[in-house]
Amino acid sequence: MSSLPKSARFPLFILMLNLFIALLGQGMVIPILPEYLKQFNASGAAAGYLIAAFGAAQFIFSPIGGQLSDRWGRKSMIISGLFLTVIADLLFAVSATLPLLYIARFIGGIGIGLMVPSNMAYVADITTQETRAKGMGLLGASMNLGMVLGPGLGGIIAEFGIRVPYFFAGGLGLAATLLSIFMPETLPKERRKSVSKRVRREPLRNLILNSFRTSYFRYLLLILIMTFGLMNYETVYALFVEQKYGFDAAKISIIITVGAVIGIIVQIWLLDYLIKRLGEMKLIRLSLVITAISLLLMIIKFNLGYLIVVSALFFAFNAFLRPTVSTLIANSAGDRQGYAAGLNTTYTSIGNILGPILAGQLFDKHMNIPYIFGALILTSALFLTLRKPKNDKERVAAYD
């Protein structure tokens, strides 16, 4: 954080802690969900629907949360979103019927949908164009760290009771909510009024349609494609490795954890350096090519060491993509950072929904097809990086 202004360091630390705790809580419940559902005599399909309910809520409310943060301020949306995740975790912990579980997951999706774009907009507010990539990278690293540590921690805490991890996640979320009260607001009331006068709140359908006309639409498509590629990789990974190598759950967990930790390290230590050395577009092109190659290397069978290296390569260059593209979106968004961050999260949600569905179907046809298809999709995204970005005046004109 040393390259960031002193005034930005404390609030950025709180934002990172917020997202880490929120994603840690979501990750904690994943490994114990199948066992938890046995209490309700529910099948594997129910687990899929619960995940879909969360994704659907996030898809619907991310653009709304982004707009509301432009109108009511970043801080209020961050606190509201965090508090909703607390309610979701506690409701999930005490639920006695399956419908209540669906409601709890939907509320959790709303909370993440409100807080993530507001966090991204907050980072855009407290950083300059020179330091924004660093800020976005740190934010992404905290999210990744939460997702990586969550499943392992959830499994350990579940030894004290199958519902205990949900109470624990709720307690962490409440602590993060209280910490957020001490953050300063970054969007003055006069700027909120200015945005409110110029732009009315749009229905979701209009938001998606109007996103086609923004100056950063191609970056939104990049977000969708890279998310699709990541989900294509992760969704069938455990099944792929189990069938191809015969590895057990412990070895699979080691591979994913090592790869993800390397991704976090490069985000923190190398992202800012590479952007300054190569520029955003060259780094995006390089990352798209390397992640595509990594997917193709996955289908070649060697040994555990080879698999860890290939996985680490994929995670590392995938880790460069999101904060770099998010920075380009933020730099093009003018004074509507919340709106742009909401669209960013919405396009991420689309990738999170489509990626697993298609990957599962392709895997049933042949285990290698999801990785070949994912590589083709990532490579095809290179055409989105060919057109030179507009200058600042053109961006604002196109945006308004």
- What's the pLDDT score for residue 372? 92
Highest averaged pLDDT of the listed ranges 13-27, 33-47, 277-291, 314-328:
277-291
Q: Is the Cβ–Cβ distance between 367 and 243 less than 8 Å?
A: yes
Average pLDDT, the chain: 80
**pLDDT grade for 37, boundaries at 50, 70 and 90:** confident
Look at 27 and 108; give whichever has higher pLDDT: 108
Tens digit of pLDDT for each residue in 312-326?
888 888 888 888 888
Provide the 3-class DSSP secondary structure of residue 2. Answer: coil
Whether pLDDT at 26 is above 50: yes
Cα dihedral sign, 364-349-257-177: negative
pLDDT at 396 over 50: no
User: Residue 107's pLDDT is what?
Assistant: 93
Q: Which of 250-264, 296-310, 364-378 has the lowest mean pLDDT?
A: 250-264
Could you give the percent of the chain with pLDDT greater than 90?
A: 14
Per-residue confidence (pLDDT) for residue 249, from 0 to 100: 59
> What is the C-alpha separation between 346 and 237, in angstroms, rounded?
24
d(CA 121, CA 338): 5
**Pick the residue with more confidence: 53 or 398?**
53
Whether 20 contacts 138, CB under 8 Å: no
253 burial class (0-12, 13-18, 19+ CB within 10 angstroms)?
middle
What pLDDT score was predicted for residue 305? 86
pLDDT tens by residue, 179-211:
888 888 887 776 665 555 555 556 667 777 888
pLDDT of residue 394: 39
List CB contacts of 43: < 8 A, sequence separation 6 or more.
37
Total Cβ atoms within 10 A of residue 301:
9
pLDDT tens for residues 39-95? Answer: 888 765 676 677 678 878 888 888 888 888 888 888 899 999 999 999 999 998 898
For residue 116, the tally of other CB atoms under 10 A from its CB is 29
